[in-house]
């Protein structure tokens, strides 16, 4: 059978007309949001309650309508160190400050990749990947590179603007500019001319546009605050790197991105590496691919030591945003639409583009069942306090196993055997094959 024939359509209609349950579901869906009808409150209720292990954090942040979850999560790890050192109940680092440099570095890397690959076919896979342009998104590796180069500043020093909170139009416009620049650079090189003077002018345009949209990044600032006992503190003329070194003081290279990506191109117990448009020039994405059980055990170990965990998952899978739940038993779209199955092995879901890591947050707690095994996880999200439990979410163990793809682990929690894996030669993959 190649075509949809009248006989086949008659068979479909007859089957549907005889299905009373399908008629009821149609009536319900005709006037109700699928998200409301797919929610199973009885299953979700089993995920509520306190956690066996909880890490205290200092408040929910809100990325608004931007894709900066990865940066919010990374800075929320760092803010805890500042708050501890300064004895603060509440504190937040400026996401806008680092987001400015993130876009500038992405623009620079985009233009550099165009120059370096000027002989690559325009319609080839590499150039089509590059020409997708930048996004607001990113991962832990990028955050580390940015922080080590540019430092961090308190939020009051570089506050948000409307554009930093609503980035779609700006990023889309910037990508149109960069694609025009790519065309010009390729022609310059084809004509035998040096592209780098023109590239600097192109970056100047990007910098100016960012200053207009987000504000020019501060170079020095005064840090003043009152601690929770009411004592006043002031330090003048800090640079962002000064502030990072003095008030954060974390060695970010001690933290390793651990992924569970069971796909054919990523062997387990092996470092993975690739260079993406999102990277800075000269920097790569790096991660250690471990089994799901190994990644989960490391997460438990880190939480028990009182350390929150930057992690990435598929936020589009089985999520109830209002209720703050991620769980296949609590959000059942397939049952609502006739009872088909969308089950696939974790690796196959990645390979067939059915899933990927789309959102980064912090793991801040875990609950154990009667056998001492995890059955639910506490999550600090960056979607504000109006969703979930005052901004906190929970995911089931079933969701964690299938849809959590990356967790950033302090290497002090690695076993000697796992630490030795970091010394192996990495498997280099194509950036367009990235799944995390």
Contact 288, 425 (CB under 8 A): no
Give the tokens for residue 355: 């899933």
Catalytic residue among 69, 283, 299, 395: 69
Task: Give the list of residues 6+ apart from residue 39 with CB closer than 8 angstroms, or none.
Answer: 320, 323, 325, 330, 331
Query: What Å distances lie between residue 221 and 71, 83, 179, 401, CA to CA?
Result: 22, 18, 36, 44
Give the tokens for residue 77: 């790890």
At which residue do the structure tokens 């503190």 appear?
233
Three-class secondary structure of residue 266 per DSSP: coil
Indicate if 367 belongs to the active site.
Answer: no
Contact 146, 102 (CB under 8 A): yes
Catalytic residue among 275, 359, 367, 413: 359
Whole-number Å distance between alpha carbons of 262 and 347:
5
Catalytic residue among 175, 275, 381, 395: 381
Whole-number Å distance between alpha carbons of 283 and 149:
12
Chain mean position to CA 218 = 26
Query: What Å distances lie between residue 272 and 269, 365, 426, CA to CA?
Result: 10, 28, 5
Give the tokens for residue 234: 């002031």
At which residue do the structure tokens 């020039």 appear?
281
Contact 421, 288 (CB under 8 A): yes
Indicate if 332 belongs to the active site.
Answer: no
Whole-number Å distance between alpha carbons of 131 and 22:
44
Phi-psi region of 338 (alpha: psi -120 to 50; beta: other; left: phi over 0): left
Indicate if 289 belongs to the active site.
Answer: no
Chain mean position to CA 219 = 28
In degrees, rounded to 5, the angle at the alpha carbon of residue 99 between the alpha carbons of residues 95 and 104 is 160
Helix (H) or strand (E) holding 295: helix 292-304
Per DSSP, which regions of 341-436 are E strands? 359-368, 374-380, 392-396, 404-410, 427-428
> Parallel, antiparallel, or unpaired for β 232-238 and 255-259?
unpaired
Residues with catalytic function: 69, 359, 381
């Amino acid at each position: 059978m190649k075509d949809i024939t009248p006989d086949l359509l008659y068979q479909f209609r007859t089957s549907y007309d005889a299905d009373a349950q399908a008629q009821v579901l149609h009536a319900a869906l005709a006037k109700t949001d699928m998200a409301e009808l797919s929610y199973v409150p009885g299953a979700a209720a089993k995920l509520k309650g306190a956690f066996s292990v909880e890490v205290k954090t200092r408040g929910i942040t809100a990325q608004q309508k931007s894709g900066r979850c990865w940066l919010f999560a990374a800075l929320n790890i760092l803010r805890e160190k500042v708050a501890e050192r300064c004895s603060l109940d509440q504190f937040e680092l400026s996401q806008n400050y680092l987001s400015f440099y993130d876009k500038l570095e992405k623009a620079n890397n985009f233009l550099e990749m165009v120059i370096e690959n000027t002989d690559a076919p325009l319609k080839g896979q590499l150039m089509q990947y590059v020409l997708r342009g930048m996004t607001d998104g990113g991962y832990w590796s990028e955050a580390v590179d940015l922080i080590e180069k540019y430092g961090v500043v308190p939020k009051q020093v570089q506050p948000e603007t409307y554009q930093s909170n609503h980035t779609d139009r700006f990023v889309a416009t910037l990508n149109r500019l960069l694609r025009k620049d790519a065309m010009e650079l390729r022609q310059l090189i084809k004509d035998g001319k040096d592209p780098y003077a023109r590239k600097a002018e192109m970056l100047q345009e990007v910098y100016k546009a960012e200053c207009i949209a987000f504000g020019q990044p501060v170079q020095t600032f005064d840090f003043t605050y009152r601690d929770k006992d009411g004592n006043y503190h002031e330090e003048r003329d800090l640079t962002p790197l000064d502030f990072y070194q003095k008030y954060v003081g974390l060695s970010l290279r001690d933290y390793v991105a651990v992924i569970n990506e069971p796909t054919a191109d990523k062997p387990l117990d092996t470092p993975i590496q690739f260079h993406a448009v999102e990277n800075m020039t000269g920097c790569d994405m790096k991660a250690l691919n471990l089994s799901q059980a190994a990644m989960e055990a490391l997460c438990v170990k880190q939480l028990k030591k009182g350390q929150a965990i930057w992690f990435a998952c598929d936020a589009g899978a089985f999520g109830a945003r209002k209720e703050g739940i991620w769980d296949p038993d609590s959000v059942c779209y397939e049952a609502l639409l006739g009872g088909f199955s969308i089950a696939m092995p974790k690796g196959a879901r990645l390979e067939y583009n059915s899933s990927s890591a789309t959102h980064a947050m912090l793991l801040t707690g875990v609950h154990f069942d009667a056998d001492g095994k995890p059955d639910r996880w506490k999550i600090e999200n960056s979607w504000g306090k109006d969703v979930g439990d005052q901004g906190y979410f929970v995911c089931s163990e079933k969701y964690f196993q299938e849809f959590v793809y990356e967790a950033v682990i302090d290497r002090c929690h690695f076993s000697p055997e796992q630490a030795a894996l970091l010394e192996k030669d990495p498997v280099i993959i194509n950036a367009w094959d990235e799944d995390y």
